[in-house]
Amino acid sequence: MKPITEYQDYRRYMLDYFEWRKRNSAFSWRKFSKQAGFASPSYLKLVCDGKGVLSRVGVPQVARAMDLCEYECEYFKYMVDFTNVTDNGQKKEAFRKMEMLREPFRRGLVLW
């Protein structure tokens, strides 16, 4: 799976994560939603399909379910903001924060 910093859309990232897990194990939307603590077994599927929105409250739950490390959680939060907000100023600010987290990867300062 590609690093989180190669994404700008959290829905695409979550979908790629789901597909990656499904290829390597018996993983389902029901299991993913349950691991994230959501009552609805199809909630995350609806979010990925664009029929729902991941709230700020749901961000840490999903990040935990995907086992994201600290900077990945932060990047994920900004991706959600970038995708969900409609105000151009807030959208630019979320993108700027994503870029700041992405910069060390571009310069080769972070190794996986």
Contact at 8 Å (CB) between 37 and 27? no
Percent of the residues in the chain that have a pLDDT greater than 70, as a whole number: 93
70-84 and 58-65 helices, crossing angle to 10°: 130
Q: Is residue 38 exposed (0-12), middle (13-18) or buried (19+ Cβ within 10 Å)?
A: middle
In angstroms, the CA 66 to CA 35 distance is 9
pLDDT of residue 111: 47
pLDDT tens digits along 83-111: 999 999 999 999 999 999 988 766 665 54
* Cβ within 8 Å of residue 10, ≥6 positions away: 54, 76, 79, 80, 83
Cα 12 from chain centroid (whole Å): 8
DSSP state of 102: H
pTM above 0.75, yes or no: yes
